[in-house]
């Protein structure tokens, strides 16, 4: 039997559903999901292995107009994955109107010499006439394939994979067949905590928070995780902690419940909040948090 393999970048604007799609494809939660824009800050790798293929998907940060150094690095992480892959999925939220942000991404994609699929997400929210109009909106760009899906409802995702397989060549298995992600446990734990903060907080908090795991201790079947939550200002620290510590307690409970489900054992979570003024524009701080500056050719 011929075995195919290849790398697929998932790119697009914020909140298009990239993370939901990669979670659906690998049938496991490897990327955090939130209604807040710019949730994904790193390129996240997911692996789907079947009898006759292995597809490695790269979920990239949403391309946006950056307001700080962190935003610049997030965009760079996306642009860097316009190359070195076999296929690009350009995913859009079909329920949203075409805008300047879409024009900007398409101009970037015009320079790409790879198969580019237009993946129209949230097709379950659209009527047939709406879908035809949406496809016509993108007629100036000759996409290799145009495939409507609903990532959340798992509609047409299998067809997307079937079509993708047609464009892949015979190759090797890059990851063990039971591996679905390629990130260290510290990254996953930090992202789960950050997801709970996004879920429970509003205003400027979601965009000004970072999480770092300082220590993991495994003892007697239990795991003790020490995490630091970084914020920009003292007022944000107060919001994260909440009145009489209620907010930080809620965040901890939600994060611990999910961590215990993933790890299959007891988890003790210690969280601390630290103010690092203007951390999103400080190169040293961004490097420490893992938001490495990526060089790419435009």
62 annotated binding-site participant = yes
16 annotated binding-site participant = yes
Cβ–Cβ under 8 Å, residues 88 and 117: yes
Cβ neighbours of residue 186 closer than 8 Å, sequence gap 6 or more:
213, 216
Q: Is 296 helix (H, G, I), strand (E, B) or coil?
A: coil
13 annotated binding-site participant = yes
Question: Among 171, 162, 189, 168, which Cα is nearest to 256's?
Answer: 189
66 annotated binding-site participant = no
17 annotated binding-site participant = yes
220 annotated binding-site participant = no
What is the distance between the terminal CA atoms of the chain, rounded to a whole angstrom? Answer: 39
203 phi, psi to nearest 5 deg:
55, -130
- DSSP conformation letters of 71-91: HHHHHHHHHHTTSSSSEEEEE
- Separation CA 189–CA 33 (nearest Å): 14
124 annotated binding-site participant = yes
154 annotated binding-site participant = no
63 annotated binding-site participant = yes
Burial 169-203 (b: 16+ CB within 10 A, else e): eeeeeeeeeeebbeeeebbbbbbbbbbbbbbbbee
- DSSP conformation letters of 133-172: HHHHHTTTS--SEEEE-BTTTTBSHHHHHHHHHHT-EE--
60 annotated binding-site participant = yes
Cβ–Cβ under 8 Å, residues 60 and 9: yes
Residues of the binding site for GTP: 12-19, 59-63, 121-124
Residues of the binding site: 12-19, 59-63, 121-124
């Amino acid at each position: 039997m011929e075995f195919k393999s290849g790398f697929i970048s998932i790119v697009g604007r914020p909140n298009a559903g990239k993370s939901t799609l990669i979670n659906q494809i690998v049938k496991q939660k490897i990327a955090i999901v939130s209604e807040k824009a710019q949730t994904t800050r790193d390129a996240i790798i997911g692996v789907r292995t079947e009898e006759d293929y292995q597809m490695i998907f790269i979920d990239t940060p949403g391309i946006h107009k950056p307001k700080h150094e962190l935003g610049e690095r997030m965009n760079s992480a996306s642009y860097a994955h316009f190359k070195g892959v076999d296929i690009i999925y350009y995913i859009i939220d079909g329920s949203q109107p075409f805008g300047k942000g879409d024009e900007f991404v398409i101009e970037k994609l015009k320079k790409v010499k790879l198969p580019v699929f237009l993946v129209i997400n949230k097709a379950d929210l659209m009527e047939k006439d709406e879908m035809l109009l949406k496809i016509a909106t993108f007629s100036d760009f000759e996409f290799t394939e145009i495939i409507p899906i609903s990532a959340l409802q798992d509609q047409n995702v299998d067809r997307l994979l079937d079509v993708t397989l047609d464009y892949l060549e015979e190759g090797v298995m890059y990851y063990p067949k039971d591996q679905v992600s390629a990130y260290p446990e510290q990254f996953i734990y930090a992202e789960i905590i950050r997801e709970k903060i996004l879920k429970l907080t509003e205003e400027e908090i979601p965009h000004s928070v970072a999480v770092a795991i300082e220590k993991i201790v495994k003892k007697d079947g239990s795991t003790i995780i020490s995490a630091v939550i970084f914020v920009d200002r003292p007022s944000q620290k107060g919001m994260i902690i909440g009145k009489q510590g209620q907010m930080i307690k809620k965040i901890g409970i939600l994060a611990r419940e999910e961590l215990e489900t993933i790890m299959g054992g007891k988890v003790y979570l210690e969280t601390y909040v630290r103010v690092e003024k203007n951390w999103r524009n400080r190169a040293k701080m961004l490097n420490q948090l893992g938001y490495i500056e990526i060089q790419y050719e435009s």
